[in-house]
Structure 1
């Protein structure tokens, strides 16, 4: 089979491209040691469902759970039912519950680290929603996760962002929930580039002022906070916040643009990881952190730095459409048999975007089987009228 493809470029030009031989990443069998690395995992939809595409589609449970087993086999941890799984953007709370329940069972079977998103997405924002309603919604989801023996990632709340009128409202709600949880949680600060409905979170649009509020909550409840994941796509702000955290509270980078330098760290500390891009670059992520475990910073950088152009492309504006690229990578690499998504989100990116993703993935050595990837790329191109 010929690997040569005709790929569209931005602006309408065409190029001929032949992928390379792929790369084999060194993956020692021992667990990761120097960093905790969560991959926020995507879900695989059932392409044969009769559910209308604008509604939450049905999940292919075996393929979805098989992908989590794959991530655990690499030594990575799994962040479940997060925005990478289209939470609040196709994955509703009832299906998120089933996903969480099934993933907790799977994690126990393979002894994999798992943390699950608890939010308020079953509470629609509106003028009648109160802070008490938000607290009750958080309590319901936290109770579900803890009731099944899971660890909590306390997700940002659209309903809270809509009804809060001051920073004190955030302090009240988070204080109420943190006083009740059984085990320390991971807080979740998602910038509005990932979800425009979260603009002004913590009571301020100014990041510095918002950070002060968030840090005050963390310091006041440090015994109930394992760490915080921030996704602001600003390395300087993450480092600034990291240096102000209590000694027992971890920073989990959610920066899909600058993760190599943030995970590597500096003389003052480093970030662990909770990243959507780790779903798409899982072998490289695992191999790089193993290199870090061995003190081989050159190999760490050589592996991970090559993935940054791909990540920046996948997460380019509109950032929230990054899930399309993550699922496309899983399709190209044979982890699922189709390129369909909940809510028809496979249409959220252009054919030229997907073609550039193919090239960047190949250049990063992330097409595990280039012949298979080229074979799978061809029908996607044909659907766009490219033979």
Structure 2
């Protein structure tokens, strides 16, 4: 029998659909207990009003878990642009949820929709919708587990990548809406940019909002950006922009990459053995149960010979290696290159550049790039 360091615990198709769920909003557990689970899988497209409204719908009438607001022309509260390049809308409806949705139910819905004969026609434009949730707090035990999996030391301030995990279920709900133009199953996370305006402490309560923008063609399909914003007491303290690629059979018509433009890797300062446990452990702490990371069957269904590490684990692990050299405010920008197969050995390197750092994660044997990034 193979050891756990070499082969993940494989899952059947039933396991993929009925996998674990996790609600990261521990402070709202009593409210979650009164909410039907079906609410987490409801289509959001019907929530967008057909014409502008100028009042708030009372959250106590109808569904107590949801309040629908309409933004002023030109943007959302907080100054974010209301329009989305490629989306064709000039303003977004804002829907406030009473709690973070359960990620597991959303993944089950996406997986069921990918089965033969159950697919549906995707939207051609971005949904004119922004989702928000208030009062998200940190479970210290969960944070400690995340720190252990990603290599951070225990501290009072949250790692920049932990805010992505904390608000990820909100973005996941947006991406599983019926009219979202790119299906969640098989989507490729190609880049991520996080801006930290100031450190966020463990005891602070965070309000999140999320929306999609900049739908654009790509040589292998279409790309878009999912924006997640974290605020404390009305002040934006954190912003993440995740760029996703939806592969399509017809060429998207976007610019082709320069295949020969591969920067030389920095001098390696550390090597990490990445075992299959990384996929399952990070899925547990992040709520990202995409089966390409946790199952041989799931990986093969989407064209990977074996499971691959989560891109955001790779980013977090690199950021943990730089943790003692990070300022209070910075932007960390990464591009995900080749997947990190599980298991494998990777090499990390970083060099001081300008006012920050240039870093990368490469194959320890062949030097092929898995991730390149900057801190500024």
TM (norm. structure 2) is 0.26
Normalised TM-score (structure 1): 0.25
Which structure has more relative contact order (CA 8 Å, sep 6+)? It is 1
- Which structure shows the higher helix fraction? 1
Higher strand share: 2
